[in-house]
Amino acid sequence: MVRLPYLTALTTLFSYGLLFAFGQLRDFFRRILDARKPSNLKVRCPCLSPAWDLRICLACRSVSRRSLLLISSQGYAPICLGLEDFYTRRLYLRIQDCFGRPIASAPDAWFDVVERYSNDSNKTLHRTSKTSKCLNLGSYNYLGFAAADEYCTPRVIESLKKYSASTCSVRVDGGNTKLHIELEELVAKFVGKPAAILFGMGYVTNSAIIPAVIGKGGLIISDSLNHNSIVNGARGSGATVRVFQHNNPAHLEDVLREQIAGGQPRTHRPWKKIIVIVEGIYSMEGELCKLPEIISVCKKYKEIIHHLKRTCPAHIYATSMSPPAVQQVISAIKEPRNLLKFERTAIFSVQSFKKWGFEVLGDNDSPVMPIMLYNPAKIPAFSRECLRQNVAVVTVAFPATPLLLARARICISASHSREDLIKGLEVISKVGDLVGIKYFPVEQEKTTDVKKLKKIE
């Protein structure tokens, strides 16, 4: 899948090694300097009595030195320790200006990015009241419904007046409005299924549904690159989890056959239930699920919505979705919008990046395009340089990706015009040259693509 060139892997490893070594060196000197100051980490007896000398707790008489607590000067245990703490201080904080950039407008094709400054090498960042207008290549706004538009917005405002911003209750009590029911029916019809159930949040949908449909004695077969919400849902369910190679129906079939033949571990009784879990589109890879192939491997489905409405905690205990949000979705589904244009622009982008020699993952018609950066120094370089040229991109690094596979994730939206995309491509190509992330030779006859496209316009 990822064609990581040997030399790049080597230099990337070397860079991380260097960062690690210098971080350790700095920590070493910091410890020497700090040794003179009174430490802000103290050792305490677990009984938390302040009356503790080095060998015995005067309050609880404990002499055990095994279960000592580390306590900071404010009286709390430190939140992270060891490697995690080291990674945060010495690697993440140095480039944290590239992550979590605040924005000050709707995530439309263009949006306002809040400018920040730092007086301590980006360890702490301060917001200013200034913003800069940037091309938005970072939001998951595939269909372009994120900003105000003349079809959806008036309807949403109407529903806000009628139903208020929240129902302040769960669906099974007083939180069920006409809108919620309408949307469920609409979604079911849209995807061609008998019923649908609404959740206000994607993460909860996965992490709460999975434990509600499967438990101990069940088997979950999960794609190796499934989202964290699925991983946590699968763990929380108590079912056994097996993983199949990403988007590989043949391997799924092998795993399925093996598990059906073997049954549960030790007892070898048949599994009570087997569920295969995949995603529609993998957001870090930009790959669409091979659904038809996978379905033909599994080929058995059951009606479960009714069961979820009685058992799923996210349905029974969580406040129902905000009515204006429901109305926004209803309007978005009902609005006649030309999705064809969207597909065309998506194809246009993935191909262009590949022609320029970038290593791009993802399917051709995917709206998410991960451009591989690999090297840790290229993460901030790419992100900052794009921002300087008014293009906002999202960069993703460890732990969200494997250590060597840092990437920039470009998301385009139906609200981008052709000019927007051409500007985006131009800037990314220029910055790509500057930062050195065109890992493959440029296809010669295609280098004048942007000029050609402009002429066509």
Ligand X SMILES: *[C@@H]1O[C@H](CO)[C@@H](O)[C@H](O)[C@H]1NC(C)=O
Binding site for ligand X (CB under 6 A): 94, 97, 117-119, 121-122, 384
Positive or negative: CA dihedral 33, 25, 406, 438: positive
CA angle 349, 229, 237 (to 5 degrees): 150
Distance (Å, whole) CA 442 – CA 371: 15
Choose between 96 and 311: whose C-beta lies nearer to ligand X.
96
Least distance from ligand X to the Cβ atom of residue 95, Å: 7
Strand partners, 131: 114
The single-letter DSSP state of residue 373 is E
Decide: residue 87, CB within 10 A, 0-12 exposed, 13-18 middle, 19+ buried.
middle
Choose between 100 and 194: whose C-beta lies nearer to ligand X.
100
Least distance from ligand X to the Cβ atom of residue 379, Å: 12
Least distance from ligand X to the Cβ atom of residue 119, Å: 4
Choose between 91 and 275: whose C-beta lies nearer to ligand X.
91
Least distance from ligand X to the Cβ atom of residue 246, Å: 34
Considering only CA atoms, which of 282, 171, 272 is closest in space to residue 222?
282
Encoded tokens for 444: 């010669």
Choose between 109 and 408: whose C-beta lies nearer to ligand X.
408
Least distance from ligand X to the Cβ atom of residue 390, Å: 14
Segment (H or E) for 184 = helix 178-191
How many CB atoms lie under 10 A from the CB of residue 304?
15
Segment (H or E) for 454 = helix 449-456
**Long-range pairs of 256-261 with CB within 8 A, sequence gap ≥ 24:** 256/221, 256/297, 256/298, 259/219, 259/221
Least distance from ligand X to the Cβ atom of residue 276, Å: 44
3-state secondary structure of 92: helix
Length of the chain: 457
| Identity of the amino acid at 394 | V
Choose between 350 and 386: whose C-beta lies nearer to ligand X.
386
Positive or negative: CA dihedral 35, 40, 46, 48: positive
Choose between 28 and 117: whose C-beta lies nearer to ligand X.
117
Choose between 74 and 121: whose C-beta lies nearer to ligand X.
121
Least distance from ligand X to the Cβ atom of residue 94, Å: 6
Least distance from ligand X to the Cβ atom of residue 15, Å: 15
Choose between 350 and 435: whose C-beta lies nearer to ligand X.
435
Considering only CA atoms, which of 391, 350, 388, 343 is closest in space to residue 369?
350
Choose between 56 and 93: whose C-beta lies nearer to ligand X.
93
The single-letter DSSP state of residue 52 is B
Distance (Å, whole) CA 106 – CA 152: 14
Least distance from ligand X to the Cβ atom of residue 105, Å: 20
